[in-house]
Amino acid sequence: MGCHKPSCNNEQHQEGVVEDTDDDQNNVISDSPCEDSDTKKRNNFSVVSIIQYTYSTVLLVISLVVVATLMATQQTQLSQITHPAVAFCLLGFLLLWLAMLEGVQASLVAIAPIRKELYQDSHPTTSKVTRLVHKGNNMERFIVGRQFLVVLVVFLVNLCGATLPESKIEWLPPILHSIFVGTGLALVLVTVIIGKLTVQVNATKYMLDVNNNCFVLYLVAYASLAVEYSGLLHSVYLVQIVIAKITGKSRGSNDSPRTVLQTVFFWIRVLFSCSVLVFGFAVAISALFSRNTTMWKGVPPAVSVILFLLLMAISGLMEGMQIALLAVVKFPEEEISNFSVAKKSCDLAFQGSNLQAFLIGRQTLFTACMFIVARIIAPEVELGQGENIYGVSDQIQLALFNSNLLGTLITAIAASLIWRVVASSAPLQFLSNPLTYIILRLCLIVNASGLCSAAWLLARIQKWMLRFQSDDEYLGAAARREDESIRDVEMQGTVVSRDSDVESH
């Protein structure tokens, strides 16, 4: 992309991908005139990486102990109303589910161009997953449904491990207590490192192995497509259609044209999704103004509403920036130069390994925003007291409102999917927002802090335990077998031809 391409580094630009290289978090040094200076930098970075690994791992261990202590002493939302063992088991399952949801998307996007015949024998479940997700427009549907599940799982993790206002760990020093318990940093680090980055690191290099299990097939692929099929998120498609009309860009489709019945069913789901979205916002705003949420006590309702909308916008910008930056990689320099603010962001993002660093920092900040949003809008109404929202029955209050399902829906749509659609339709215009440059800088600072460096160490441990192998090893062996089979067929054909010639003579 002109001057935006780094001269001495070898980068990988994939959506949501964290590149795993021989230099750990830094790109591989190429054979170039600047090799000597880069080697010195690599040596310095190695020392820095060791320091970051060490203190990040220490922080992760402290965070795990803090979360476990709070759950064991029934000082989290879920452990307070159930047995701590239930909260422990559910949190473990949710982190596993989140890890697969995050890692699988990156690998399914990257594995799409590879012929499925090359791995259908060595990785039969991966083959089933890819044949399902890569069929027609299923990849788009999968991403839409998956995003809802990601937000849902993060909200449920918050339910399992979020602290109560009066939560206190006696043995923890006051400063550490304020940092890990007061700010909620402990749960954020556990979620980001274990539930997001670790599998993403391995999913970029061991795509076939990561996807080759029934968990991915049923609880990620089928579950995501089922959520999308339900119509809960179809309001996103309405936004997509409107933007396509405004920009004049037609929406390509890999599906066959819809029948009349399919068209009617599609628009019914769009109407249903829009109605639920509006209702969800109404419930959230009503609960905030009536002080019936888990928002910190003492915060005025108006401030809660402003903070809620602000965090939704920041989260949406981070989601859209990821799409926009990856979209403009192949844009000509002349076109980018027409947008001064966007060019400034692109120059920074494509400098060295900054794009990779942004993707990592974005994960941390986005997760933190989701936890705060969940805290702000999660309804907290005591049943049987006549204070139910809109006077609904206790059953509806518990199942629909107190469970925060509506909060999950509006967050997935309004803080993620809509922004992604806008960014993909007009990436340079999206990056022309001055806030995107500020957010980009903030994400780079978060990544440079090394808070989540332990993810690379855990990724190595996971690779060793599960015996992951490089995709090149599998695909190379399959290609060789295919070539040998072709040669065998050709030799057999030659032998048959010679035999026929002998018989004819």
Average pLDDT taken over every residue of the chain:
85
Determine whether 272 is exposed, middle or buried from the number of CB atoms within 10 Å of its CB (0-12, 13-18, 19+).
middle
Can you give the pLDDT at residue 112?
85
Q: Which residues of 135-155 are buried (b: 16+ CB within 10 A; e: fewer)?
A: eeebbbbbbbbbbbbbbbbbb
Q: Which tens digit of pLDDT belongs to each residue from 263-305?
A: 999 999 999 999 999 999 999 999 999 888 888 888 999 999 9
pLDDT digits (tens, 9 = 90+) for 435-466: 999 999 999 999 999 999 999 999 999 999 99
Rounded (5°) CA angle 344-362-21:
90
Q: 208, 111 in Cβ contact below 8 A?
A: yes
The band of 1, judged by pLDDT with boundaries at 50, 70 and 90, is: very low
Residues with Cβ within 8 Å of residue 478, at least 6 apart in sequence: 117, 118, 119, 121, 122
pLDDT at 478: 61
Tokens 């920074």, residue located: 348
The secondary structure of residue 3, as a DSSP letter, is G
Evaluate if residue 52 carries a pLDDT over 60: yes
How large a percentage of the chain has pLDDT more than 70?
A: 85
- The more confident residue out of 499 and 202 is 202
Residue 184, CA distances (Å) to 147, 161, 251 in order: 23, 9, 42
State the average pLDDT over residues 7-23: 36
255: DSSP letter: S
Q: Is residue 360 scored above 80 in pLDDT?
A: yes
* Alpha-helical segments (H) within 248-332: 260-289, 301-327
Top pLDDT among 103 and 313 is at 313
- The mean pLDDT value for 389-402 works out to 87
Mean pLDDT of 414-435: 93
Q: What is the pLDDT of residue 479?
A: 58
73-95 tens-digit pLDDT: 999 989 988 999 999 999 999 99
Note the pLDDT of residue 9. Answer: 36
Model pLDDT, residue 24: 39
20: pLDDT strictly greater than 60:
no
Which residue, among 305, 307, 306, 320, has the nearest Cα to 439 in the 3D structure? 320
CA–CA dist 179, 66 (Å, integer): 11
- Cα–Cα distances (Å) from 234 to 151, 259, 281, 490, in that order, read 16, 18, 16, 52
Does 344 score more than 90 pLDDT?
Answer: yes
Return the higher-pLDDT residue of 317 and 333. 317
Task: Measure the CA–CA gap between 312 and 239, rounded to whole angstroms.
Answer: 17
Q: Please state the three-class secondary structure of 184-217 as a single string.
A: CHHHHHHHHHHHHHHHHHHHCCCHHHHHCCHHHH
Band of pLDDT at residue 8, cut at 50, 70 and 90: very low
DSSP character string of 419-486: HHHHHHHSHHHHHTSHHHHHHHHHHHHHHHTTTTTHHHHHHHHHHHHHT---HHHHHHHHHHHHHHHH
Q: What is the mean pLDDT of residues 111-139?
A: 92
Look at residue 23 and tell me whether its pLDDT is greater than 50.
no
Q: Which residue has the tokens 């937000």?
A: 151
Mind listing the pLDDT tens digit for each residue in 203-220? Answer: 888 999 999 999 999 999
Q: What is the mean pLDDT of residues 348-361?
A: 90
- DSSP assignment, residue 178? I
| 58-62, 338-342, 476-480: the lowest-pLDDT one | 476-480
Reduce the DSSP state of residue 163 to 3 states and report it. strand
pLDDT at position 45: 55
| Mean pLDDT to the nearest integer, 299-328 | 94
Q: Tally Cβ neighbours within 10 Å of residue 87.
A: 25
Residue 482 pLDDT: 53
Judged against a pLDDT cut of 70, whether residue 505 lies above it is answered with no
The predicted model gives 311-316 an average pLDDT of 96
